[in-house]
Amino acid sequence: MPEIKEAIDQAIEALPACERSEWEEIHQKEVKDPLELLSSWTETHRRAIRTAIATWILDRTDPKDALRQVLGWSPKMGVAMACVIARDALGRSSYGSAVAHLPTVEAAEGWVHGLTSVEFCKVMGEVSYFSDQLGTSPWEQDVAMAVAYLVGDRLPDGRLNLNFADYVTSNASAIIQLLDFSASKPKAEAEICLLMGNSLLTGQLAEWMA
């Protein structure tokens, strides 16, 4: 199976010559994250990238590897996808107080859109981490904490700590298994991959990148 960068390159190569030329011109500018140039992409570019990444993810059954690869291509898209996973996990919870962790997820979502800082995300991660009094299970607490720490608790060189991405997917998987006794770990992980892919086709990320 191709790696995510290869799948994206293939999607761009398949575009009409004029769209490829415009893509190459846009990406002459060096940026840390391809999505910094999102406002310059044409509608065709956006659709091609969304479809390529979604199709690539939907062919997979390991959400940890899929999320890590998305983060490696675009930290913003990867964090946004981690937020989708965390929101879904909290929404499934049988603990009514799990909604108390939504502001932590919203902090990470805000960073994706330039509305919150790295420091604020770290603070919100700590809020969820030290929130035993909320009465939620450890998985709800940890999935929210992990998505905020993915932004806020970075490696010494400033890169995202992908271990927190792993915590997001593993805790989401645990929640699915906890609430659905027929869901084995492979089934839960496949469900998370389905969620990730569909978020780019018809869900929250599709609206963002439309």
SS3 at position 31: coil
Mean pLDDT of 51-57: 97
Q: How sure is the predictor about 36, in pLDDT bands with cuts at 50, 70 and 90? A: very high
Q: How high is the pLDDT of residue 99?
A: 79
Q: How high is the pLDDT of residue 181?
A: 72
Would you state the structure tokens that stand for residue 143, as one six-digit string?
């999935």
pLDDT tens profile 89-110:
998 876 666 778 899 999 999 9
Q: How sure is the predictor about 169, in pLDDT bands with cuts at 50, 70 and 90? A: very high
Q: How high is the pLDDT of residue 48?
A: 97
For residue 134, pLDDT beyond 60:
no
Q: How sure is the predictor about 53, in pLDDT bands with cuts at 50, 70 and 90? A: very high
Q: Where are the domains of the chain?
A: 1-210
Q: What is the secondary structure of 121-160 as a DSSP string?
A: HHHHHHHHHT-GGG---HHHHHHHHHHHHHHHS--TTS--
The overall average pLDDT reported for the chain is 92
For residue 14, pLDDT beyond 60:
yes
